[in-house]
Amino acid sequence: MVFDMVICELSPGILALSFTGRLVFGNRRSDVEHAILKRTRQGCKKVLVDPSGLKFIESAGIGMLAVRAGVTEREGGKLAAAGATGQVEQMLELSHLDRLLSMYAAVESAHGALAGWAPVAAGK
């Protein structure tokens, strides 16, 4: 199955990246990383990752999300994930990714939490 990513603005200041397929090394994983990096550098401090359409995520994809969560936080932003199910949800839980980014069962609850979150100055 081919990997696909859709980027949209859920509301002003909240970016969503939705995935379908399999997020594996070399399979546009760097596109995801660059999309997050580009938007946060443009001032978008709230990013929601929606892996609900993923059938599989490997350790390189999890590692990339962990790095992006840390960098986004250091730059005063917030990265959240919502909608993971099945094997993808298990991989995210086993990797303890929830210690680095907020995880929600549904996009709506994540969007509400991000809407109420106020960015902080970078490095604080």
pLDDT at 47: 93
- Structural domain boundaries enclosing 76: 4-115
Query: Is 34 inside any structural domain?
Result: yes
Q: What is the pTM of this model?
A: 0.86
Domain count, the chain: 1
Domain assignment of residue 120, yes or no? no
In a domain, 84, yes or no: yes
Alpha helices in the chain (DSSP H): 29-41, 59-74, 86-94, 107-115
Average pLDDT over residues 75-99: 91
- How confident is the model over 28-65, as pLDDT tens digits? 777 888 888 888 888 888 999 999 999 998 888 898 89
Query: What is the rounded CA–CA span in Å between residue 1 and residue 22?
Result: 7
